[in-house]
Structure 1
Amino acid sequence: MSSILRGRPLFERLQAGIDAAAAAGRPLGLLLLSIEGLGRFGILHGHLRAEALVELVRLRAQAVMRPDDTVLRLGPGEFLILLNSLSEPAMAALAATRLLREFELAQQLDGQPLRVQVAIGIATSPEHGRDADHLYRHAEAALALARGSADRLAISPARDFSLDVDPAALRDAIHGGALTVDLQPFLDLRTNRIAGAEALARWHDPGQGAVSPSLFVELAETSGLVADLTRWSVNATFKHIADARRLGIALPVSINLSAVAFVERGLVEHLSDALSLWDVDPGEVTIEVTETAIIADLERGAHILSRLGELGVGIAIDDFGVGNSSFAYLREFPATELKMDRSFVTGMLSSPRSTRLVEAMIHFAHHLDIRVVAEGVEDAATLEALRALDCDVVQGYLIGRPVPAAEFIASLAGVMP
């Protein structure tokens, strides 16, 4: 059986590969391969058989790779594969695809055919990092994407891991008033009027400048600050709704909840308290939750959505169309709004199939009395195509970019009676 490499020896081995590739003037490929469902396999078939499966995967991976490539076992069902001396970074994706295709074929375990499902994350050096830590983190990010992808294969997203933000700095920003709210407008296609806005958290750190929301939201989720960030977001947004009301403006606002924030204890109670504190009409608030957050635990997700519905707030399913159970759960959950993923919208004009999919989603939602919002609208032709398909509301740079909340409200005050 293969030995497991972890900790400092792992990163020393990876750094040596990075340095050797750099000295040769060639990119280094890093694949993280995970055996999906290994735990369940072990429960059904026993630990020894699960271990035999892991060894089978190692041997098959080594056989598929080139002789100079290295396959290292990281844990019970994960492997790190170093692709040495690549001619170009794109070769890493080709190697990963070849490996994935190998496991689409039936393997033989103890004389019996077996299909093994794997997921593979891809990163390359120097593109994704010149040191072991950054390169490995990029590969981890890619593997997380691959696990949620139908292709089970993903290349690391373009992310700068050198921007390491201290959780203490985020805590100080949350409690010290350093975070702000931007608002991005929605346009009602029936009235051609602004129909509200989406609230977006922003953080400008004195040392690092503007910090990406995806970075500080993930930091909040992994450092125990997600409840604090959610409470700040809700109260800051409700304050702006109250400010608009004092100017005679009704301002419906949508608030995003991450998958982690969605299942935090006390979420519904805090929303209820904040509605009372700021004297906000629940009908002016929509909570946006992604499909992923809901289907991660359907029973709990349904319970939380039902309680939110009882408060009277709207419930929007964000990034609709990219999950696995979209139409099935809409029959059961109290959604009031469906927010189509931008990938469908941006491809409409060049793809008749995308147009038909958008049309089908709109008609299906309307049969359930659910409003449809299309995001990612950046040109007039797409807007008019959505209007012709009876879409209710659109959002995107054509309608308006995110701007500071006070500026947004002031612009509405200037055009509304």
Structure 2
Amino acid sequence: MINTNRNDSRSKLFNSIKFLSDNLNDNSWLGLLLIDIRDFKTINRAYGYECGDKLLQHVAEILKENSKNPKLVFELGNDEFAIIVPHLKGPNFISLSANRIAEALKVPFIYDQQKILISVNIGASATNLASDHDLLVLVTEHSLSEAKSQNLPFHIADIKTELFGHSDLSLLNDFKTALHENELELYYQPKININNPNTSQAEALLRWKHPTRGMIPPDQFLPLCARLGLNIELTQWVLNTALRHQKAWPNAATPSIAINVSADIIDSPELPHIIENALNIWGTDPDKLTIEITESAIIGDKESGFNNLKKVQNLGVRISIDDFGTGYSSLAYFKHIPANEIKIDRSFIDNMTNDSADRRIVELIVSLAKSFELSIVAEGIETLEQLALVKLLNCDFAQGYYLSRPIPYDEYIAWTAGQ
């Protein structure tokens, strides 16, 4: 069976690519195919989820039958697969593999006596250099994007002339070094209890000061982390660093700390274990730790995401839903949401002092959250007027540049001492 856990399967894909690339000989090329099933969501809606599950099984069987090594076939998501193609005689041979897979998938899938045509987009690339194993994934992902945008059955990318230049590959390698050699840093942004300013809470935010490029924005290096399959490893680093800082706090008012968890690992079975292990290592009170996830992350994979978050909650750890109000969630979803706190998205906070519609949305979210006994954080507070209004609307916490920007650990200690 193909592993259906996205993060676990993706990690195995990266590990397999690295192992095979490390063992390339002078006359051998390593190829990668990324396969995306077109209109899979439409098939699910039209025929039901049982049909969708059987279709995925059907595709998996075809891919394994047409791969020289079925163990090199990976399911990366609800409608995405990957195949590693080792021992190619040259870069052009990857096109033969892509064409063979595209042809094999043209066989109609029969469900309930109905023929369903399978349409796919395939991205492909190949390398003969061990040092290119990370770039191989990036280039193949770009190739798949090209195939999808141009509606092609497959698109072959040349790893030597692709859009990813030397500087991008250098940044990729530099990030791996930064993570493995502890060159990253956590900044902290206070979360102020509106009714009790002496209560200390903060959100831990990742920062990377590159030795030659200066500060690299998270929206540049976090996608690299995801593509490298390092989200679990990065989460472990952030979690242990935050709890180490918390344990070393110089006074009795130890802050409650929130860390962000990537949507890619919400359904990973490793997540509850790494959280439990970190709590045990640092002797942390679980109630002093909050895991923040985006609303859209659990809406995208509700069943497995909810179950995993319930396991985290059962450890005594708090769950906060970030960017709330932007995920288009239903009331049925909200009824079962595994959370202790919601953070109202700053897009509603920005204009609520001038826009009555945004103010009414905030009022509705607060009312709904209060009925389910959830704490409410208003994020993106940048003015005194906004702070006064969220207090009037009965929000519990406030966070934003008006109160404090994210600051290094030592500065945050000094900031709390001055409160």
| TM-score normalised by structure 1 residue count | 0.61
Pairs within 5 Å for 1:295-306? 295-306=299-310
Aligned match of 2:195: 190
Pairs within 5 Å for 1:222-301? 222-244=227-249, 246-301=250-305
Kindly state the Cα deviation for residue 274 of structure 1 after the two structures are TM-superposed.
0.5
Kindly state the Cα deviation for residue 35 of structure 1 after the two structures are TM-superposed.
6.9
Aligned match of 1:181: 186
1:391 alignment partner, one of 384, 392, 395? 395
Does the C-alpha gap of structure 1 residues 38 and 198 become closer, same or farther in structure 2, counting only changes over 3 Å?
Answer: same
Kindly state the Cα deviation for residue 261 of structure 1 after the two structures are TM-superposed.
2.7
Aligned match of 2:175: 170
Q: Which has the higher contact order (CA 8 A, sep 6+)?
A: 2
Pairs within 5 Å for 1:25-44? 37=41
Name the SS for the 2:248 alignment partner: helix
Name the SS for the 1:322 alignment partner: coil
Aligned match of 2:340: 336
Aligned match of 1:415: 418
What one-letter code is carried by the residue in structure 2 that aligns with 1:415?
Answer: G
Does the C-alpha gap of structure 1 residues 208 and 264 become closer, same or farther in structure 2, counting only changes over 3 Å?
Answer: farther
Aligned match of 2:328: 324
What one-letter code is carried by the residue in structure 2 that aligns with 1:253?
Answer: I
Kindly state the Cα deviation for residue 224 of structure 1 after the two structures are TM-superposed.
1.1
User: Conserved in 2, the CA contact under 8 Å of 1:306 and 1:333?
Assistant: no
- Give distance in 1, aligned partners of 2:418 and 2:409: 16
Name the SS for the 2:182 alignment partner: coil
Kindly state the Cα deviation for residue 415 of structure 1 after the two structures are TM-superposed.
3.5
Kindly state the Cα deviation for residue 340 of structure 1 after the two structures are TM-superposed.
0.6
- Say whether 1:199 aligns with 2:204: yes
- Give distance in 1, aligned partners of 2:294 and 2:276: 21
- Give distance in 2, aligned partners of 1:202 and 1:234: 14
Kindly state the Cα deviation for residue 280 of structure 1 after the two structures are TM-superposed.
0.9
- Give distance in 2, aligned partners of 1:199 and 1:186: 11
Aligned match of 1:23: none
User: Conserved in 2, the CA contact under 8 Å of 1:230 and 1:261?
Assistant: no
Pairs within 5 Å for 1:45-194? 164=168, 166-193=171-198
Q: Deviations over 1:111-130 (max 9, x none)?
A: xxxxxxxxxxxxxxxxxxxx
What one-letter code is carried by the residue in structure 1 that aligns with 2:226?
Answer: E
RMSD between superposed Cα atoms in Å:
3.1
User: Conserved in 2, the CA contact under 8 Å of 1:259 and 1:290?
Assistant: yes
Gap runs ≥5 in structure 2: 1-37, 49-137, 150-163
Kindly state the Cα deviation for residue 330 of structure 1 after the two structures are TM-superposed.
2.4
User: Conserved in 2, the CA contact under 8 Å of 1:182 and 1:201?
Assistant: yes
Name the SS for the 1:287 alignment partner: strand
Does the C-alpha gap of structure 1 residues 207 and 42 become closer, same or farther in structure 2, counting only changes over 3 Å?
Answer: farther
Name the SS for the 2:168 alignment partner: coil
- Give distance in 1, aligned partners of 2:285 and 2:375: 19
- Give distance in 2, aligned partners of 1:249 and 1:318: 25
User: Conserved in 2, the CA contact under 8 Å of 1:182 and 1:199?
Assistant: yes
Aligned match of 1:89: none
What one-letter code is carried by the residue in structure 2 that aligns with 1:296?
Answer: G
Name the SS for the 1:164 alignment partner: helix
Kindly state the Cα deviation for residue 193 of structure 1 after the two structures are TM-superposed.
3.5
Aligned match of 1:352: 356
- Give distance in 2, aligned partners of 1:359 and 1:366: 11
Name the SS for the 1:221 alignment partner: helix
- Give distance in 2, aligned partners of 1:252 and 1:41: 43
Name the SS for the 2:268 alignment partner: coil
User: Conserved in 2, the CA contact under 8 Å of 1:185 and 1:194?
Assistant: no
Kindly state the Cα deviation for residue 325 of structure 1 after the two structures are TM-superposed.
1.5
Kindly state the Cα deviation for residue 329 of structure 1 after the two structures are TM-superposed.
2.0
User: Conserved in 1, the CA contact under 8 Å of 2:269 and 2:308?
Assistant: no
- Give distance in 1, aligned partners of 2:298 and 2:182: 31
What one-letter code is carried by the residue in structure 2 that aligns with 1:310?
Answer: N
- Give distance in 1, aligned partners of 2:44 and 2:267: 25
Pairs within 5 Å for 1:5-24? none
Kindly state the Cα deviation for residue 293 of structure 1 after the two structures are TM-superposed.
1.1
Kindly state the Cα deviation for residue 326 of structure 1 after the two structures are TM-superposed.
5.0
Kindly state the Cα deviation for residue 303 of structure 1 after the two structures are TM-superposed.
0.6
- Give distance in 2, aligned partners of 1:183 and 1:366: 27
Q: Deviations over 1:340-368 (max 9, x none)?
A: 11011111011111111101100110111
Q: Deviations over 1:41-86 (max 9, x none)?
A: 9979xxxxxxxxxxxxxxxxxxxxxxxxxxxxxxxxxxxxxxxxxx
- Give distance in 2, aligned partners of 1:188 and 1:229: 29
Aligned match of 2:78: none
| TM-score normalised by structure 2 residue count | 0.61
